Structure 1
Amino acid sequence: MTNISLESHVNNATKTIKVATISSSIIAVKPWLYGQIQTNLSKASKSSENKYDLVWSILKELGRMLNIKYEIVNHTEKQLGNFENGTWTGLLKLLKNEEVDILGIPTEVTFDHLDIADYTKPLFQSDYAILIRSPNTFTDNTFFILTAAFNMTAWTMVAALVLFSGCIFYVICHTLKRNNEQQYTFLDACWVFCSIFLQQGLWKTPNSFTGRMFVSLWWLWSITLLAIYSGGMLMTLSSGRERFPFYTLDELAYLVQHSGYKIVTESSSSSHLYIKDSLKDNLKKIWHEMSINKKWINVSSFQDGKDLIINQPRTVLIAPREPLLVLAASDCRVTLAKQSLSSFWCSICTRKNFPFLKEFSEQIELLLQSGFIQKIQREFHVFLESSKKDMMCRQNLHGDGLTETPLNLDEAQGVFWLWLLGTTFSCFVFLLEMITQWKKFIRRSRSTVTRL
């Protein structure tokens, strides 16, 4: 065992507390939660690998405040442990046997551990999240990409507004016929607003103030709508849409029941107990499939869970959010689902009758009030958001990096499809007009011959 003094001794006699942490195999997955213990903690705290180690940052402050020396206990346990076959396993076994005083990791506050352990003042609130394999990015470069800026409801409203405005304009023009107002057929009246929407000029403009005001407001509305359409089209062309396998817990329950999906949990977390004890119908269905139909895989580490999800797409990992955030930021092949589950509190776990439990909780309360813990949490999230690995992942996986690349023919084909459709429709209308003119010409010729 190695003695580690967090700060120089002060007035009272130095108190020694035995601490157990997780072995280094988990450190790479959860640097913020566990960190790497070195023989000189003052140097370790400056290491970038331990910059966001919340628990050991708090222990360092507590050591300074309470004049405490920590004794790191060497052990072979790699998980928190639980109650199995009448005995406790993992780090909880060390607590029960009083081989250690506290655990140097944040622990989920659960009633199942109160028989052998106590908790300090809660450090932060977290929740259970779902890690899935990164979904494929969907892009549609055909003609329909030109309509993707608005949904079908918006396009229907635009078409209905054109017809409705055409009716109003037709009534206005015929009502003001005696005031020398321009006259339009119903089709021409509707075409006026269709031309405005397409930013075309009018072949004849109304003479009355009412008609001009009505048309002017439509011009203003169409310009605003065009700006919104341009922004939506730019976003559609520059990025694809991710299709997640599920968006709600009901959809996840259906996939587990009927599509062969399996739930993955990590042995040191209590996520499976949360699912088991939940009163929600969808989670009850999921637990039934997990326990009865054997659609449950329990892994020994979060790294193993991530590898399993990558290799088996029909699996999802349910665990506390923080380690999953680290996994998603370090590997672009996995990401967090949109759905979040129930929240819980994380705390420092101590053995029963720990003599400094009250002092620890009081000092943690001071650290919470001073914003010390919140500051470390913010730094952790900023670190994840600015992760270079994450930026490289997005660029390599989805092709939407920071470098600008010109559109290729496949990405720009929607414009050519629009031109082809417009040309085809124009030719069709041209043929109709020619047929109409030819019929009129035949009718006039016959009437002329009849008069002669």
Structure 2
Amino acid sequence: MLFTPEFENTTADPNSIRTLNNILESINEKVAVPPQISFESDYGDAYTQSNQKHFFLEKMRDKTLKMVVPAVEPPYVNYVNFTDAAVTEKGYGPGVVIEILKEIGKRLNLTFEIVPASGSTWGEYLNGSWTGAFGQLVRGEVDLLAGGAIMEYDRSVISDLTYPFQFEPTGIMIRSPEKYEDDTLLIVTEPFSWEVWVITAAVILISGVIFLGMTNILRKVYKEMSVTPFESIWVFFSIFVQQGLPEQPRSWSCRVLVALWWLASITLSATFTGSLVALFAVDKTNLPFQNIEQLVKLVKQGRFEIVMDENSFTRTEMIARSKLPVYRDLWHEMNVNHKVKYVNGISRGVAFVRANPGYALLGPMATLNFYAYSDCKVILLNDGILPVYLSIPLAKHSLYSSYFSTKIREMVERGFTQKWIADYRSYVAMQKINECNSTTVGPKSYLDLKRAQGAFWVFLGGVSIGVTLFVGEFIFKFFREKMTKHDDVGKPFEEVTTVSPNSIQNIPNTGNLDSIQPSEPPLNENNIADNWSLRRRNVLNLSLDLSRIAN
């Protein structure tokens, strides 16, 4: 059966969401009092004595092992069938765990008998006993659990956990938000964040100040170009917008500064152009949060709630036991304010999140990745939380523990586990089971006015500023001339003394200009009166000959 999200009749099922009373009560009891299990354990390594090389192969061959499949969770358990005909029929493998069991079964000629699961899928330790699949393993009803079990201390005490075949973080899945289309009037500012714009403006100002100081100092030595503070800043703004300079600097220091600025501006221009093209051509999705810290903040605000699988409380216990502040706050919201819902299985959790915004599903990253890959109405965050190791549990002190661990380690080191996961991912991609193929309209092949209006608004803004400055220059010139005339009228008349050529007499032919002295007629009462009259007339007509005025 092809792996597809099971959405039918899941969100409407009243049994798909359990009440929190028993769940939270059992988890609080388990976290508050560490379990006292009466089993002897040599727990020390992450897996049980997998370094032993002496296997009792003859005792292990030709046996029948009973196993239980706790849950079908791709890509670890896609379906339960050990025949090669099933792979040919379905077109994809049974999953990583089943592939491992098939390979070991071929080497030892083993037969696997599937036992139906009882109770919850994986089970937990409650009131001194284990429930679910681990309960069957403890009671000796089965020899192994066919699934990817999270490695933890409680489980290692009552079972032999093999060498881990996968390192997996916990994924966060939410409903896909609405697509983002930028209709802002200043779309040209979108390619860069506001931090980049602020830093660019600051660098232009700082470079202008440095350039101004360098030109003022070097002008005395290299006859460097002379610039005002405004012109100095405008030089680097012109470089930033890919404009030429009216005058090139003459000194090498200023030339190097300008040349490196040209190189930086080319890089910024290419980045700006590429980001702007991507902004027009690619739809952008605005996520309500980017990490667990932001999610916890939204949970506190009542805008989000947590959804988890009720069949395994391991991740819930990890949150409850964590000492990190972010997980302590999350556990407080889950335990005290009951901002958590438990669903019966990952598929039901995906269906619930898909149908209801404002919920975040926490589950195995690889499994959620396939759901997100096959349905565009859910999205998986890139960063995971609460990383864990996955292994295959066997009965305590099983004869097969060391052999299983050794062979699993060899498969992991040779890349078989990752290959099986990649093969299944390729198969899902080829099936094109994304339902958005029939509902999503492809990107437009042209740039419409709705998305390009920002550029025209910038153009109109530039024209408006240019016209305003044009009018302002004439107004400034008018008031400046008016103020200049006002200053000239307010000044008192000054006496102007001119020397006529006729007043120069008896110039000796020595070439010494200092010896040239104007002739001074003797002063008398008539001369004084004439001098006063000429001075008053010269105020109105400076072309009069004042050679007769005595000093």
TM-score, length of structure 1 as denominator length: 0.82
1:62 corresponds to which letter in structure 2?
A: I
Q: Displacement of 1:242 after TM fit?
A: 3.6
Q: Displacement of 1:62 after TM fit?
A: 0.7
1:50–1:93 CA distance, 2 compared to 1 (3 A): farther
1:272 corresponds to which letter in structure 2?
A: T
Structure 1 position 409 matched with structure 2 position 449: yes
Matching residue within 259, 275, 291 for 2:319: 275
Q: Displacement of 1:435 after TM fit?
A: 0.8
1:183–1:331 CA distance, 2 compared to 1 (3 A): same
* Equivalent residue, structure 1, for 2:65: 17
Checking the alignment, whether the CA contact within 8 Å between 1:263 and 1:316 is kept in structure 2 is: yes
Matching residue within 468, 473, 493 for 1:428: 468
Matched residue SS, 2:148: strand
CA distance in 1, matches of 2:451, 2:109: 66
Q: Whose radius of gyration is greater, 1 or 2?
A: 2
Matching residue within 384, 388, 397 for 1:344: 388
1:158–1:372 CA distance, 2 compared to 1 (3 A): closer
Matching residue within 236, 242, 245 for 1:199: 242
1:13–1:278 CA distance, 2 compared to 1 (3 A): closer
CA distance in 1, matches of 2:411, 2:221: 83
1:253 corresponds to which letter in structure 2?
A: V
Checking the alignment, whether the CA contact within 8 Å between 1:131 and 1:318 is kept in structure 2 is: yes
1:62–1:427 CA distance, 2 compared to 1 (3 A): same
CA distance in 1, matches of 2:227, 2:116: 92
Q: Displacement of 1:115 after TM fit?
A: 5.6
1:249 corresponds to which letter in structure 2?
A: I
Q: Displacement of 1:413 after TM fit?
A: 1.2
Matched residue SS, 1:105: coil
Q: Displacement of 1:276 after TM fit?
A: 1.8
1:346 corresponds to which letter in structure 2?
A: L
* Equivalent residue, structure 1, for 2:281: 238
CA distance in 1, matches of 2:131, 2:257: 78
Matched residue SS, 1:304: helix
1:207–1:294 CA distance, 2 compared to 1 (3 A): closer
CA distance in 2, matches of 1:161, 1:303: 53
Deviates more, 1:216-225 or 1:411-420: 216-225
Matching residue within 99, 102, 106 for 1:60: 102
Q: Displacement of 1:430 after TM fit?
A: 0.8
CA distance in 2, matches of 1:328, 1:176: 66
2:360 corresponds to which letter in structure 1?
A: V
* Equivalent residue, structure 2, for 1:33: 76
Matched residue SS, 1:265: strand
Matching residue within 133, 144, 154 for 2:186: 144
Q: Displacement of 1:449 after TM fit?
A: 9.4
Structure 1 position 102 matched with structure 2 position 102: no
* Equivalent residue, structure 2, for 1:187: 230
CA distance in 1, matches of 2:365, 2:358: 20
Q: Displacement of 1:247 after TM fit?
A: 3.2
Structure 1, unaligned stretches of length 5 or more?
1-9
Q: Percent identity?
A: 30
In the TM superposition, 1:217-228 aligns within 5 A as 217-228=260-271
Checking the alignment, whether the CA contact within 8 Å between 2:61 and 2:108 is kept in structure 1 is: no
Q: Displacement of 1:423 after TM fit?
A: 0.9
Checking the alignment, whether the CA contact within 8 Å between 1:36 and 1:50 is kept in structure 2 is: no
* Equivalent residue, structure 2, for 1:79: 121
CA distance in 2, matches of 1:183, 1:130: 61
CA distance in 2, matches of 1:310, 1:134: 8
Q: Displacement of 1:374 after TM fit?
A: 3.6
In the TM superposition, 1:292-303 aligns within 5 A as 292-303=336-347
Q: Displacement of 1:441 after TM fit?
A: 5.1
1:47–1:117 CA distance, 2 compared to 1 (3 A): farther
* Equivalent residue, structure 2, for 1:4: none
1:159–1:336 CA distance, 2 compared to 1 (3 A): same
Q: Displacement of 1:368 after TM fit?
A: 3.2
Matched residue SS, 1:225: helix
Q: Displacement of 1:313 after TM fit?
A: 2.1
Name the count of aligned residue pairs.
432
Checking the alignment, whether the CA contact within 8 Å between 1:32 and 1:51 is kept in structure 2 is: no
More strand per residue: 1
Checking the alignment, whether the CA contact within 8 Å between 1:180 and 1:207 is kept in structure 2 is: no
CA distance in 1, matches of 2:221, 2:396: 97
2:74 corresponds to which letter in structure 1?
A: P
Checking the alignment, whether the CA contact within 8 Å between 1:256 and 1:289 is kept in structure 2 is: yes
Checking the alignment, whether the CA contact within 8 Å between 2:122 and 2:134 is kept in structure 1 is: yes
CA distance in 2, matches of 1:162, 1:277: 52
Structure 2, unaligned stretches of length 5 or more?
1-57, 491-538, 541-551
Q: Displacement of 1:334 after TM fit?
A: 1.7
Matched residue SS, 1:298: strand
